[in-house]
């Protein structure tokens, strides 16, 4: 399990990454979101059925859909997508099933990619 404070700790090591003010957590670099709090909608819950996470979910922007799909196939359970993200290069992360290493790797990949954009 990974907490939001642990996510914030990882992101705090990224120079130029800022927390965007709002009612949900969102971190950006070069005005692009690398990660954000992503509660599941009723539509997501219906589509995911019994596989829907019960706890906190974070979205992490990745370079492309193929890389996202590789994460989902390599680390099923913590990493997943909903139909809403079908063609969008972001992976959803069930923070209850994730570990710190996974979250760190995903955030690093997103940060390194968006830092150059």
Quote the mean pLDDT of the chain.
96
Report the C-alpha gap between 63 and 48 in whole angstroms: 24
* Run of H or E residues at 69: helix 65-74
Residue 28 token pair = 């950006």
Chain mean position to CA 56 = 11
pLDDT in tens, 51-72: 999 999 999 999 999 999 999 9
pLDDT at 14: 95
Query: Which one is predicted more confidently, 116 or 59?
Result: 59
Domain ranges of the chain: 4-115
Confidence of residue 29 (pLDDT cuts 50, 70, 90): very high
Report the C-alpha gap between 78 and 116 in whole angstroms: 27
pLDDT in tens, 75-103: 999 999 999 999 999 999 999 999 999 99
Please identify, in words, the CATH class of the domain defined by 4-115: alpha beta
């Amino acid at each position: 399990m990974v907490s939001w404070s642990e996510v914030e700790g990882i992101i705090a090591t990224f120079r130029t990454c800022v927390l965007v003010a709002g009612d949900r957590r969102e971190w950006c670099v070069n005005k692009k979101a690398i990660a954000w709090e992503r509660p599941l909608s009723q539509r997501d819950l219906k589509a995911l059925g019994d596989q829907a996470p019960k706890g906190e979910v974070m979205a992490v922007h990745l370079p492309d859909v193929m890389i996202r799909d590789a994460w989902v196939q390599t680390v099923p359970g913590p990493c997943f997508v909903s139909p809403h993200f079908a063609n969008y290069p972001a992976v959803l992360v069930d923070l209850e099933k994730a570990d710190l290493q996974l979250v760190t790797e995903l955030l690093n990949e997103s940060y390194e990619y968006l830092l150059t954009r």
